[in-house]
């Protein structure tokens, strides 16, 4: 089994969630964005990762099963980094325990003899 890397963000999800949980900071963010709520505090676009194509090609050539955590974490170009109950990332690319559980949801490893 080859494993694709988790989605990577161009910001620190931990800092975003913590900042949003502080009323004064959240209000300042709304003021600076002129009241627009353009930024989600649980999903965002990810940084493109050219190594994904290389990992997929190796898996195909070797006949390996490819596990891709984006299937559980992402919808289109947006990926979840938190829920109302859990933070999925400890920084821009590393999962927390809750994030790891969310990433492997639905994964069925191959049966080994």
Per-residue pLDDT tens digits of the chain, which is 113 residues long:
899 999 999 888 888 888 777 777 666 666 655 544 445 567 888 888 999 999 999 999 999 999 999 999 999 888 999 998 899 999 988 999 999 999 999 887 776 55
Dihedral angle computed from the Cα positions of residues 57, 58, 60 and 65, in that order, rounded to the nearest 10 degrees? -120
pLDDT of the residue at 92: 87
Helices 13-20, 23-32: axis angle to 10 degrees equals 100
pTM score above 0.85: no
Q: Are strands 66-67 and 2-3 parallel, antiparallel or unpaired?
A: parallel
């Amino acid at each position: 089994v080859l494993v694709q890397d988790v989605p990577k963000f161009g910001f620190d999800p931990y800092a975003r969630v913590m900042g949003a949980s502080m009323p004064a900071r959240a209000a300042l963010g709304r003021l600076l964005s002129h009241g627009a709520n353009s930024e989600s505090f649980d999903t965002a676009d990810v940084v493109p990762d050219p190594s994904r194509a290389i990992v997929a090609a190796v898996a195909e050539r070797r006949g390996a099963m490819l596990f891709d955590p984006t299937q559980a974490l992402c919808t289109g170009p947006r990926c979840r980094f938190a829920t109302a109950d859990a933070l999925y990332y400890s920084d821009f690319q590393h999962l927390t325990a809750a994030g790891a559980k969310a990433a492997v949801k639905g994964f069925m490893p191959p049966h080994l003899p």
